[in-house]
Chains A and B, each alone.
Chain A
């Protein structure tokens, strides 16, 4: 089998309050052209002013990817014409990107490998173009919405170190976990907050680029398809054309883009409307101080706490879940139990409602209280499940649910003894049989008494009292 060489170019939208070079709000789903100003519409005379938070978010990503942040950086104009690019150039970075030479540890079932990051640079997003949506004139027009124009972007370029579709997918998942943990991007591929161009070649072949692959599944499928396609070509002794291809979501195949009649010539030159960045070690340190625990570290810590690797990954890769976990942990110091409950009952609800833990009315304090109640034996695990679903539905605290619904275990000896005597009195035949030596009937009495208590009797006490009462017959 020919081994593939894969490199990924990832564009990340930053979730800053305002755009990269103007004060328009960054807001998804706003009505068309309602978040647009002279700058992001490229009216004559408008000038860019750099967003400090975008720069610092970029630093955070570069640090998380172990990149070297350069002491000097500059923006360049990348010149090309396209309707979604209002200025006719994109403000991007060229030969002096703000960071270079990092890596990302990527783990698959087969391996854990270091994937090189060649560079991370800052740029701006383009407008959104919708094709053939015209109501009045068939499908002969395209519509433009400039709300997205100027949204801050990071471009992360990996080295061609990736060796399989699975690894590419793992790379993206890890990237997203980092972005989410840093809190600087939703990392949502479906919404376009994370976009991916794929470069792939096989041993002895040239490289093809697949543009804008818009989901994790698609990245995998596009790569698998390309590996198959290129293998077939090379096996037949045919060359792989160096070209840009597009992935077609519906059919799962890649299609050749129009071959370029002229080589692209972006005529880069330093953006004269912006001044250079001089990045001091103090500035970098200040950003470094503010970095949260990153997914890799966090996974290691959770694993050491006794969580299974899969559990650790699920929690560590979802920053809200991790935050919730850690807050609960500070109140109820048993990570394993927290994980058990979080990843079963709570996750079920999250999946069903398709939301994150921040969006449901469950507080870590209440969740810790529930675990305490179970631990102390006030309620059984079984009742615990009823309680948590009530908590998730209403947002009430565990104690309150237990009290309101009288779900607490009954520990009072005389109450339990009363139920046991009632049961024994109602079943004289069985009682006689037991006395004759049919020991197996013990369970029958316990079961009946538990039923009488509506499941609330503490099981240990109930056992003990049934035994005492039966024994008193002898």
Chain B
């Protein structure tokens, strides 16, 4: 199982994680070794085996369409790193568009 430096960087960017080059290299090696270990599952023939994404026998769990009170605005914003009035504030992101 080969994980290239490029792969590691790409994954770090997808996951929005910053690493120093040294950290990323250690992580790359760990990923390579762990994934090599994990790729053992490829030994198994799983042709025709359905995937399990949940173990419950439940289907169609729904609630009725009844509106209930929301949180108080102050509770919504209580942990905000930055706010203006009753809105969350972030540095402008226009350049990201």
Contact = CB atoms under 8 A, between A and B. Distances in A.
In their complex, do chains A and B touch, with some C-beta pair under 8 Å? yes
Contacts of B66: 17-18, 23
B65 A51 contact: yes
Interface stretch (B23-31, B32-40, B41-49, B52-60): B52-60
Nearest to B74: A33
Given A23-B68, A140-B92, A141-B90, A32 B85 contact: yes
A70 to B, nearest CB: 13
Given A265-B14, A275-B58, A277-B59, A144 B68 contact: no
A229 B71 CA distance: 49
A27 to B, nearest CB: 8
Contacts of A361: none
A204 B85 CA distance: 52
B59 A33 contact: no
Interface residues of A, number: 55
B84 A53 contact: no
B63 to A, nearest CB: 5
B84 A49 contact: no
A38 interface: yes
Contacts of B61: 49-50, 274-275
A146 interface: yes
Given A49-B61, A277-B59, A34 B73 contact: yes
A54 B62 CA distance: 10
B63 A35 contact: no
B76 A262 contact: no
B22 interface: no
A131 B92 contact: yes
B21 to A, nearest CB: 19
A329 interface: no
A444 interface: no
A181 interface: no
A234 B97 CA distance: 27
A37 B70 contact: yes
B76 A140 contact: no
A31 B73 CA distance: 9
A14 B65 CA distance: 12
Contact of A23 (B16, B67, B97): B67
A145 B87 contact: yes
A36 B68 contact: no
A34 B70 contact: yes
Contacts, number: 127
A33 B70 CA distance: 9
B67 A18 contact: yes
Given A81-B16, A262-B10, A275-B58, A16 B65 contact: yes
Contacts of B19: none
Contacts of A36: 70-71, 73, 76
A319 B86 CA distance: 37
Contacts of B56: 275
A16 B63 CA distance: 12
A136 interface: yes
Contacts of B67: 17-18, 23-26
Contacts of B92: 131-132, 139-142
B64 A134 contact: no
A312 B88 CA distance: 48
A50 B90 contact: no
Contacts of A258: 97
A257 B96 CA distance: 10
Contacts of A269: 53
B2 to A, nearest CB: 19
Nearest to B16: A81
Interface in A249-298: 257-258, 262, 265, 267, 269-270, 272, 274-278
A277 B58 CA distance: 9
A275 B84 contact: no
Interface in A4-57: 16-18, 23-26, 31-38, 41, 49-55
Interface of A: 16-18, 23-26, 31-38, 41, 49-55, 74, 81, 83, 129-132, 134-136, 139-146, 246, 257-258, 262, 265, 267, 269-270, 272, 274-278
6 contacts: A31-B73, A49-B62, A141-B90, A145-B86, A270-B53, A272-B53
Interface of B: 10, 13-14, 16, 53-54, 56, 58-68, 70-71, 73, 76-77, 84-94, 97
